[in-house]
Chain A
Amino acid sequence: AQTVTQSQPEMSVQEAETVTLSCTYDTSESDYYLFWYKQPPSRQMILVIRQEAYKQQNATENRFSVNFQKAAKSFSLKISDSQLGDAAMYFCAYKSWGSGNTGKLIFGQGTTLQVKP
């Protein structure tokens, strides 16, 4: 069974600085998706960034980028130029490639990010 681990329950960053959130996962599959989701205090979960395992290039979305190390099964999220609106809980998630698992996301325990003005 696949597992996702986020070892940092809480992180803090100064506004405009850079922060990296860690995520490791365990799987025997070779094809899968990895995601970072953001859950602000309002509770609406939104997708921040996704990575397909077959792609060697790290995904980037504006100030958000990932460091995907497939062999090490590591998937960290870097937030550059942190803003107050980035304060939220961040979840790392895994999804199998197969069509039989399209709706099943496996989440890590989450990292609460505090942004200090």
Chain B
Amino acid sequence: KAGVTQTPRYLIKTRGQQVTLSCSPISGHRSVSWYQQTPGQGLQFLFEYFSETQRNKGNFPGRFSGRQFSNSRSEMNVSTLELGDSALYLCASSLGGADNEQFFGPGTRLTVL
């Protein structure tokens, strides 16, 4: 089975731009969660999507949004980029149950200049 894939792997943007990151879960997985990883704040939960619905949300501003498609692929969007948005963005997929393991993708490294 193919693992979780994320595209692109690296991205450079400038302040004020917007960006869309993509995550393809493991086949059969219906839940996709997104995390932001920075040296200062560590790993922080952004949101989770399950069957095309946002099921859980972290404490991030409204500039951070996401969606999930019928094939369970998920995208997250960050509008009006700020320097502080520079981070590694990880997504994780699971079957969706409380007891199910989350499998992480390799991440997208976003640099905001």
* Most chain A beta-carbon contacts within 10 A, residue among B50, B102, B103: B102
Q: Contact check: which of B44, B88, B90, B102 meets A103 at CB < 8 Å?
A: B102
B64 on interface, CB distance cutoff 8 Å: no
Contacts known (A42-B106, A103-B48, A107-B43); A97 close to B56, Cβ less than 8 A = no
Q: Is the CB of B56 within 8 A of A44?
A: no
A98-117 with Cβ < 8 A to chain B: 98-110
Q: Which of A16-24, A45-53, A64-72 lies at the interface?
A: A45-53
A/B pair count, beta carbons within 8 Å: 67
Q: CA A46 – CA B104 in complex, angstroms? A: 7
Q: What B residues does A105 contact at CB under 8 A?
A: 33, 35, 43, 45, 92, 102
Specify the main secondary structure of chain A where it touches its partner.
Answer: loop
* Interface size, chain A (Cβ < 8 Å): 23
The closest CB in chain B to the CB of A42 belongs to: B106
Q: Is the CB of B107 within 8 A of A103?
A: no
The closest CB in chain B to the CB of A45 belongs to: B104
B58 on interface, CB distance cutoff 8 Å: yes
Q: Is the CB of B100 within 8 A of A109?
A: no
Contact pattern, B 73-89, Cβ under 8 Å of A = 1, otherwise 0: 00000000000000010
7 contacts between A and B (CB under 8 A): A46-B104, A47-B102, A100-B56, A102-B96, A102-B97, A102-B98, A103-B102
